[in-house]
Structure 1
Amino acid sequence: MRKIDSRVITDAVKDMCIEAAIFLGDDVKNRIKKSIETEKSETGKNILNILLENADKAEQKNIPICQDTGMAVFFVKVGQDVIVEGETLTEAINRGVSEGYAEGYLRKSVVSPIDRVNTKDNTPAVIHYDFIKGDRIEIEFAAKGFGSENMSALKMLKPSDGIEGIKKFVVETVSQAGPNPCPPTVIGVGIGGTMDKCCEIAKKALFRELGQHNEDESIAKLEKEILEEINNLGIGPQGFGGSTTSLGVNIETYPTHIAGLPVAVNVNCHASRHKKAII
């Protein structure tokens, strides 16, 4: 049995929060660069170049890519042979968020839902746990801005709606979002499970690096087909028109009931900020 001091987890989470806010991942930057080569609109090309310039400035000046430094979302895999000493794992993660958003001078955006009172340290985080064999803890973090989160949607389709019904719902969701989620977007899609599980796996899909398709060839094909339809909408970078409305579509699936076909679309802006740590 391996013992891990909760402070180790807190420090790792703190660093992830700060680094994700400042350093845009290579997967996103590379996809933007590739999109510049294929973008048909000159205005669209200019905007994509500005997004890269913004990312470079953030790194050079050590400041966040965007003023919305998001709500902290975690997917955590916990080895069954691990004991966390000190604070609980949840407490350690939330303390890391609190310290990271304070030390990194990141905007604290979390409020109570009804009276809108700020919690003042960007906690509590949203944490999804899974338990695995082994003696390590894998922590994945994403800073989820709400300009894009607000454009997300869930629909309980009928099984008879099939693949075409899934495509239609995803594309319509992106179309209705228009320029609001700061395109070019990254689209996470969950298919199956129950309504709550469907939304969870749609969020999890956003953690996959751009360019990495679903291991199931039929699902990977669907990702490519939906991305093509989205980019034919003409919304373009920042909504000014063009052929780059989304940088990628990532789909995750889960078995569901014979009577159901839940589909969730989780929209992310171009600043798809995610980090991973293994302890």
Structure 2
Amino acid sequence: MRIISAERLRQAVEALILSVSRSLPSDVRAALQSALAEESSVQGREILRQLLANADYAEATGLPLCQDTGTAVFFVEMGEDARIDGAGLQATLETATRNAYASGYLRNSMCHPLTRANTGDNTPISLHLDLVAGDGLRIRFLPKGGGAENMSRCAMFAPSRGISGIRDFVLDTVRQAGPNPCPPIIVGVGVGGTFDLAPTIAKKALLMPLDMPNPDPDAAALEAELLDAINRMPIGPGGLGGTRTCLGVRLLLRPCHIASLPVAVNIQCNAARRGEICL
């Protein structure tokens, strides 16, 4: 059994939250730069220039990349032979979130769903935990903004809808979203599983680097087809028109019941922040 100090974990997660909130992943920055080089619209190119300048300024000053510093979403893979000493995993992540959002002057965005009273510290977090073999601890952090999250959808299809039904649903979701999720967007798609699992794997798909080939050839082919179709939509950067509405489509698959075809789409905005640590 490997013992991991809760205090060590707290400090590492606080640093992760602050770093992720202030900087774009290198693959997202590269995708924005490629979009700038390829965008045909004058307005679209200006939006992309502003997004890249904003990213530079956030890194230089330590200010948040976006005013919406998001719901604190964690995907954790914890080894069955690892144990947190001093506090529980969720409690430690909650404490780290409170501390980081306070010290980094990150906006508190969590509220009671009926009264809308702010919780005051950006908790509770959203925690997805997988127990895996070994004694490691991998923590991936995804601050998820409200604008893009609101444009996300889930559907339960009959298997007869097939790949064409999946394709149509994804494209219709992006088309209906229009400018609202702050394009250029990244589209996470989860296919399979159950009613509750499909949205989770759609969100998890957003953790896949844009420059990492999908290991499933069928998924990779559908990603490429969807990306091309989305970029033919006249939404463009900032919703002002253009040819680069989407930076990438990431698709994760899970086996599902023979009578079902769950499909979920989780849209991510241009401030596609994510990061991870391993302890």
Q: CA deviation at 1:13?
A: 1.3
Q: CA deviation at 1:114?
A: 1.1
1:211 touches 1:248 (CA, 8 Å); kept in 2? no
Which residue type is aligned with residue 123 of structure 1?
T
Which residue type is aligned with residue 14 of structure 2?
K
Structure 1 match to 2:205: 205
Q: CA deviation at 1:133?
A: 1.4
Which residue type is aligned with residue 7 of structure 2?
R
Deviations 1:77-108 (A, max 9, x none): 00111111111011011111111101111000
Structure 1 match to 2:158: 158
Query: C-alpha distance in 2, partners of 1:136/1:94?
Result: 20
Q: CA deviation at 1:72?
A: 0.3
Q: Residue 256 of structure 2 aligns to a residue in which SS?
A: coil
1:239 aligns with 2:221: no
Structure 2 match to 1:183: 183
1:138 aligns with 2:127: no
Structure 1 match to 2:8: 8
Structure 1 match to 2:273: 273
Query: C-alpha distance in 1, partners of 2:38/2:259?
Result: 42
Query: C-alpha distance in 2, partners of 1:12/1:120?
Result: 22
Q: Residue 235 of structure 2 aligns to a residue in which SS?
A: coil
Query: C-alpha distance in 2, partners of 1:136/1:101?
Result: 26
Query: C-alpha distance in 2, partners of 1:207/1:12?
Result: 19
Q: So what's the TM-score if we normalise by structure 1?
A: 0.99
Query: C-alpha distance in 2, partners of 1:211/1:35?
Result: 14
Structure 1 match to 2:194: 194
Structure 1 match to 2:170: 170
Q: CA deviation at 1:248?
A: 0.4
Query: C-alpha distance in 2, partners of 1:29/1:101?
Result: 24
The runs of at least 4 consecutive aligned structure 1 residues that moved more than 6 Å come to none
Q: Residue 100 of structure 2 aligns to a residue in which SS?
A: helix
Q: CA deviation at 1:162?
A: 0.8
Gaps of at least 5 residues in structure 1 are none
Structure 2 match to 1:107: 107
Deviations 1:257-279 (A, max 9, x none): 11111100001101110010001
Q: Residue 149 of structure 1 aligns to a residue in which SS?
A: helix
Structure 2 match to 1:124: 124
Deviating more after overlay: 168-177 vs 13-22: 13-22
Structure 1 match to 2:226: 226
Query: C-alpha distance in 2, partners of 1:104/1:227?
Result: 35
Structure 2 match to 1:72: 72
Q: Residue 202 of structure 1 aligns to a residue in which SS?
A: helix
Query: C-alpha distance in 2, partners of 1:213/1:151?
Result: 26
Query: C-alpha distance in 1, partners of 2:165/2:98?
Result: 42
1:213 touches 1:223 (CA, 8 Å); kept in 2? no
Which residue type is aligned with residue 211 of structure 2?
G
Which residue type is aligned with residue 155 of structure 2?
K
Paired residues in the alignment total 279
1:73 touches 1:126 (CA, 8 Å); kept in 2? yes
Query: C-alpha distance in 1, partners of 2:140/2:175?
Result: 29
Q: Residue 196 of structure 2 aligns to a residue in which SS?
A: helix
Which residue type is aligned with residue 193 of structure 1?
G
RMSD: 0.8
Query: C-alpha distance in 2, partners of 1:157/1:210?
Result: 28
Structure 2 match to 1:31: 31
Query: C-alpha distance in 2, partners of 1:118/1:42?
Result: 40
Gaps of at least 5 residues in structure 2 are none
Query: C-alpha distance in 1, partners of 2:85/2:62?
Result: 33
Deviating more after overlay: 33-42 vs 249-258: 33-42
Structure 1 match to 2:54: 54
Deviations 1:199-257 (A, max 9, x none): 10000000111122320111101001001001101100000000111100000011001
Query: C-alpha distance in 2, partners of 1:276/1:233?
Result: 33
Q: CA deviation at 1:59?
A: 0.9
Query: C-alpha distance in 2, partners of 1:19/1:165?
Result: 39
